[in-house]
Structure 1
Amino acid sequence: MESSGTQQLSMPAKELFAALMALGLIEKDGAAWILTKEGEKRGGAYKESPQYGKYIVWPEDLSLQPPNKPANKPSQNLRTATAIGKAFELSANKINFILSELGWVNKGLKGWLVTDQGKKQGGIQAEDRKSGIPYVRWPDSIIESKSLIETIGQVKGTGDTQEGQTPDSGVNSGSEAVGFRDKFEAKHRSADGHFVRSKAEMLIDNWLYMAEIVHA
């Protein structure tokens, strides 16, 4: 399939196809070039010719310059599971398990793979340069995710700890600490003998035990 527009753009056909493909306007389908949805949006269309057969035509004002990023937009910092864990005082393994429970990552043979749902949360697949083990990087905003915060609250046994509490009950800090331990007693026993404060944490502890991952 040919592409009309070489003359208007003063560019050799080979370079034109490369530029159009780099912009995501066309793609290869066997031996032929076909329009992508983005190519159709930019005005690309099919035409038929007795001499050339089916080919693609483009508007004369088509720009092959890549779209510029907003000048004042700050670059997005990305976090690993380890960095997320530090924010919530949890290990990277527990964070990855929580992300898996949310449907944002899947466990691979080695490492973790981002899912389509995870991509919607801003997850980006990455790979360790030395080991090749896959992992996922997340935008800073992930630590503000309501779903993540609620799940972590359940894991840590603090999901509803503020409900029904008074700001100042006149009890000293030592009594408050004892009261907290009484209220959230570590009474759930996991498969490896650990006692934890919530069923959610017990599930994670059991999963880590079955996966033979050393954990605290």
Structure 2
Amino acid sequence: MGRGGEQRRPQAYDAELGIAVERAQQGDEEAFATAYRLVHPGLLGYVRGLVGEDAEDVASEAWLEIARDLSRFRGDGAGFRGWTATIARHRALDHLRRQKRRPRQALLEQDVLELPGGEDTAVAALETLSTERALELIRTLPTEQAEAVLLRVVVGLDGPATARVLGKRAGSVRTAAYRGLKRLAEQLASGHGGNVTSTPPRALKDET
């Protein structure tokens, strides 16, 4: 994000992240701290978009699991971001179950092979907002659109990785991300993005 969100695009540090993770798996605590520093801001933003004010606690639970299971991870820096996002999502779902929130009914998903462009405009506009304001705006989207946008924009995953985290078809996720970014672009263009009223985070669809 831009003002208030001092964060490089996640893809920019994937090489550094991959090296840090490899060293952390060999017991290098400083390397693990580096991996945490590189991944945590985006991961926390994603979790905050799912559970709101309880994000710090949920993210802490996720990092405990990440540290415990680090030796099982196989992949590069981008793969690590996807792996940690999957763990964080599971902890968020567990949290929502404990809170006994009623799951939203999923909207009908449509598998679209190709979608027109236009996402860059919304992404660029979101990056001019503070992290908190951008997350407030994203939380106004339907659940599946909000998750897709959070993973694509905040965590920085590509389409296939986002689909793996959500356990859905790539076409469905691409559709959700496109619709969400299109809606955000329309809100920002109309000036609504500057005066977003905070809304409670929507409960995720409960999954087994």
**Structure with bigger RCO (C-alpha 8 Å, 6+ apart):** 2
Give the TM-score range, shorter chain. under 0.3
* Structure with a larger share of its residues in strand: 1
Q: Normalising by structure 1, report the TM-score.
A: 0.22
Q: Normalising by structure 2, report the TM-score.
A: 0.23
Larger Rg: 1
